[in-house]
């Protein structure tokens, strides 16, 4: 009878999980620094997927904190304060 063995090692290193508020605060800071930043650049800087960035952008837009000025190409983000 064949089989296989799986060994799982538990890491003693704790990972830090960003809260949604921390992620949004960082996104807003990055957008203020570079209003022409792309979703892909945000994803790379925040270690998120583009879909994760899209979700956060939607939340910020729905809350009236963020808006897009102009077209997807050539436009920019504006943080409403």
Q: Which two tokens stand for residue 32?
A: 């203020």
* Alpha-carbon gap, residue 64 to 76, rounded angstroms: 16
> Domain range holding 24?
20-79
For position 19, what pLDDT does the model report?
Answer: 86
pTM of this prediction? 0.74
Determine the pLDDT at residue 8.
76
Say if 14 falls within a structural domain.
no
Q: How many domains does the chain have?
A: 1
Q: Is the pLDDT of residue 13 over 80?
A: no
Please indicate, yes or no, if residue 5 is contained in any of the structural domains: no
The string of pLDDT tens digits covering residues 15-65 is 455 688 899 999 999 999 999 999 999 999 999 999 999 999 999 999 999
State the CATH number of the domain containing residue 45. 1.10.10.10
Q: Is residue 44 domain-resident? A: yes
- Element containing residue 66 per DSSP (H, E): strand 66-69
Report the distance separating Cα 81 and Cα 39, nearest Å.
21
Q: Is residue 6 part of a domain?
A: no
Burial class (CB in 10 A: 0-12, 13-18, 19+), 7: exposed
Q: Give the residue carrying structure tokens 């583009």.
A: 50
């Amino acid at each position: 009878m064949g089989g296989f063995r799986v060994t799982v090692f538990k890491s003693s290193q704790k990972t830090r999980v960003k809260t949604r508020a921390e992620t949004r605060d960082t996104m807003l800071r990055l957008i203020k620094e570079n209003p022409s930043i792309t979703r892909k650049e945000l994803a790379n800087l925040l270690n998120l997927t583009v879909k994760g960035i899209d979700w956060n952008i939607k939340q910020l837009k729905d809350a009236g904190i963020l808006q897009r000025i102009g077209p997807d190409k050539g436009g920019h983000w504006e943080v409403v304060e």
